[in-house]
Amino acid sequence: MASAEAATELPTASGPREASRDEVREAGMAVRRQVLSDAHVDRANAKVDDFTADFQDLITRYAWGEIWTRPGLERRMRSAITLTAMIAGGHEAELAMHVKAALRNGLTRDEIKEVLLQSAIYCSVPSANTAFSVASKALAEYDAEENAD
């Protein structure tokens, strides 16, 4: 795994320095685009209005700029953890999005299947049953998106 600096510290000639809010947002947006795809992020940004702007800023800075940029876990591991969290929470739309992200982050379809099987034991069989249905649709959508390019 390549060494990565945490988003809150940026390397400089004189040592690390605290990143500005804008730098964290920029780092978060870059990771968000890499993980979710430019098309997904562009669709989400097109829907931003005065009511949702602060929330979009929050998730870009904190979820993507602070957590997903941290050293210590590879993105594929973060994806596996996120899949499990989405299954446990019953967050079907987010699960579908993160199934596609997991593929972009290097998980194989078999590894995604194993995460879903593991979730049957620790999250519940009904949750895993729903997750398999959601994941199957998401994988088909991913294939269609990839073939459209």
pTM over 0.75: yes
pLDDT tens readout for residues 32-41: 999 999 999 9
Residue 2 pLDDT: 41
133: left (phi over 0), alpha (psi -120 to 50) or beta: alpha
pLDDT over 60 at 12, yes or no:
no
Residue 124 pLDDT: 98
Domains present along the chain, CATH in parentheses: 8-71 (no CATH), 74-149 (1.20.1290.10)
pLDDT tens readout for residues 73-107: 999 999 999 999 999 999 999 999 999 999 999 99
SS3 16: coil
Strand pairing partners for 108?
none
pLDDT tens readout for residues 16-59: 667 898 999 999 999 999 999 999 999 999 999 999 999 999 99
SS3 18: strand
